[in-house]
Amino acid sequence: MPILAGQLIQEQKLVSVTSDESLTHALTLMIESDFSQLPVIDGDNKPLGVVTCASIAKSLLHLGAKVEDLRVNHALVKLPTYPEDEDLLYLLDTILKASAVFVVNANGRLSGIITEYDTTQYFRQRAEDLVLINDIEDALKRHLQIVYDAQEGESPTLRDAIDNLSNSLDGIRKKSHASLKALCKAQKTTISQEELDAIVDKHFPIRGEARTFADLSLAEFIQLAQKNWTKLEPVFNISQPAWSKMMEDIRLVRNKLFHFKGDTTPVERNSLQFCANWYANHPPLLLKNPESTSSAVESGQPNAQQEQPVSSGAKQAAEELPQAKHSALSMSKYEPLYALLAAHGEAPGRFEVNVNTPHLSEIIPGGLPKAAREHLNWWKGHPEIARELSLKGWRTIAVNPDWVVFQRIPTSNKPINFNEPWEVSYWCERLNCTRKELNEAVIKVGPRPIDVNNYLSIKEITLKQ
């Protein structure tokens, strides 16, 4: 969908002068309106040119006259003219060279003027809208990863929820199987599984690959939240209808922007800002550190006090990040942050660290950028910081103007630290086992979660046989 030139001047307050008016009058209007230029029109409201601060200065310099002795036509500069329905993209090169263009109606009368400032503001606003939408989606996805136990990849619970989405082909296939079975049972008709599969496959062919969490649309993320509302409601502290209404408004605005169906209205823009701020004030309910009943390490467990280097999983994740192209000075700017996290990470029971942004601005040379205090994607998209945090076993999970939350990364290659109750609880939940079963597995195969998982899986198969 084209961006019409007329869209940029819809609410423009047009101030103009005629060519025979005094430069003093033109300057007065420019100062009153805080403009650096004014359109010059004839008696039929058709544009003749523009008078600017620069053109006035040149006329005073080269004519050697006083400003009160000069008329507007002494400082007149011609400008290109375009119709209201011209695509804005076709104007950009001209605006870059001429600094502004006139927009006229079908009769050639002046409708408005588009300057470099106008185009910058227009695209800045669109970019801000997209950033807010991205922040909202990221925040919602983070909540979903927590409630579906999918912080380190796709969990079985999340996989099942994705397959059963109302608009998911996999979900439709499952429902079709169930419906056909129910129909055959009601009609007392016998049908084999092969016949059932053939009927469903004919109407709903199996796709090549199952969709992942990252492939879902905003509408589907909303569905996932609604399906697990009992876990989200204590965090959101709002009724499901109210939350759904807010998210439906965001979905409509998102579709409008992504499908080029027009610009956001002031109300729509306000809804984006409200929703982004709302999520900033309702961060994900992180794993809580359970109260430890004993600080003793059970017999046969690995020595949790031994030094544990950065896991290969964290290293691999960091190596996959883009290489930062920054100077050595820039590379060292965030060393105080890494040192701060390292110090906090050594404390028992620390799963996440909330760092006050004023404190961050004090310890980081040059302070913390404003974007880092408002947008989670600043941390994710900064190659140097994302890489270094991952290497050191941390990630950024939430931001707010007042604080930034960093979370430790439990990985399947890092030994389970039994001195950390939150970590033991985390892996018991991830591996779907009790602490006793976890202890037994660690004694048998060692403390790496990936080995424990394999052991538990083999044991379960053996028990079934």
- Which range scores top for mean pLDDT: 338-342, 343-347, 431-435? 338-342
CB 442 within 8 A of CB 302: yes
59 vs 424: which has the higher pLDDT: 59
Does pLDDT of 322 surpass 80? no
Does pLDDT of 222 surpass 90? yes
pLDDT on residue 148: 87
pLDDT on residue 424: 78
Torsion, Cα 60 66 69 70, to 10 degrees, reads: 10
Does pLDDT of 310 surpass 60? no
Query: How big, in percent rounded to 5, are the helix, strand and coil portions of the chain?
Result: 55, 10, 35
> Which range is least confidently modeled, 116-120, 328-332, 374-378?
328-332
Does pLDDT of 283 surpass 50? yes
pLDDT on residue 27: 95
Q: What are the boundaries of each domain within the chain? A: 5-120, 312-408
> Which range is least confidently modeled, 2-16, 104-118, 232-246?
2-16
Per-residue pLDDT averaged across 88-99, rounded?
90
- Which range scores top for mean pLDDT: 15-29, 157-171, 387-401, 427-441? 15-29
pLDDT on residue 227: 92
Per-residue pLDDT averaged across 379-394, rounded?
80
pLDDT on residue 196: 80
Give me the residue label for tokens 């008696």. 43
The residue type of 93 is: D
Band the pLDDT of 465: cuts 50, 70, 90. very low
354 vs 232: which has the higher pLDDT: 232
Strand order in the sheet with 403-408: 352-356, 403-408, 394-400
* Mean of all residue pLDDT scores within the chain: 80
pLDDT on residue 327: 42
**Partner residues linked to 353 by β-bridges:** 406
pLDDT on residue 256: 92
Per-residue pLDDT averaged across 206-218, rounded?
75
- Of 402, 127, 430, 184, nearest to 280 by C-alpha is 402
pLDDT on residue 381: 79
CB 122 within 8 A of CB 8: yes
pTM of the model as a whole: 0.64
Does pLDDT of 52 surpass 70? yes
Q: How many helices (H) and strands (E) does the chain have?
A: 21, 10
The HSE-up count of residue 65 (CA atoms within 13 Å, CB side) is 13
Give DSSP secondary structure letters for 366-427.
T---HHHHH-HHHHHH-HHHHHHHHHTTEEEEEEETTEEEEEE---TTSPP-TT-HHHHHHH
> Which range is least confidently modeled, 319-333, 341-355, 360-374, 448-462?
319-333
Between CA 283 and CA 255 the distance in angstroms is 25
Between CA 67 and CA 22 the distance in angstroms is 8
Element holding 354 (H helix, E strand) = strand 352-356
Does pLDDT of 296 surpass 80? no
SS (H, E, C) 49-68: EEEEHHHHHHHHHHHCCCHH
157 vs 228: which has the higher pLDDT: 228
Does pLDDT of 329 surpass 70? no
Per-residue pLDDT averaged across 100-123, rounded?
93
Between CA 141 and CA 356 the distance in angstroms is 24
pLDDT on residue 210: 67
Q: What are phi and psi of 399, to 5 degrees?
A: -135, 160
pLDDT on residue 382: 80
Q: Where on the phi/psi map is residue 153: left (φ > 0), alpha (ψ -120 to 50), or beta?
A: left
CA distances from 111 to 30, 98, 326 (A): 18, 18, 47
pLDDT on residue 53: 93
Between CA 366 and CA 388 the distance in angstroms is 19
Band the pLDDT of 415: cuts 50, 70, 90. confident
Which sign does the torsion angle of CA 59, 65, 66, 68 carry?
A: negative
Give DSSP secondary structure letters for 254-311.
HHHHHTT--PPPHHHHHHHHHHHHHHHTS---PPP-PPPS--SPPTT---TTS--PPP
Does pLDDT of 64 surpass 70? yes
pLDDT on residue 241: 95
Q: Which fold has domain 5-120?
A: CBS-domain (3.10.580)
**Partner residues linked to 83 by β-bridges:** 104
CB 15 within 8 A of CB 35: yes
> Which range is least confidently modeled, 107-121, 373-387, 434-448?
373-387
Does pLDDT of 5 surpass 70? yes
The pLDDT tens digits for 132-143 are 999 999 899 989
SS3 at position 132: helix
pLDDT on residue 20: 94
pLDDT on residue 428: 81
Between CA 347 and CA 154 the distance in angstroms is 29
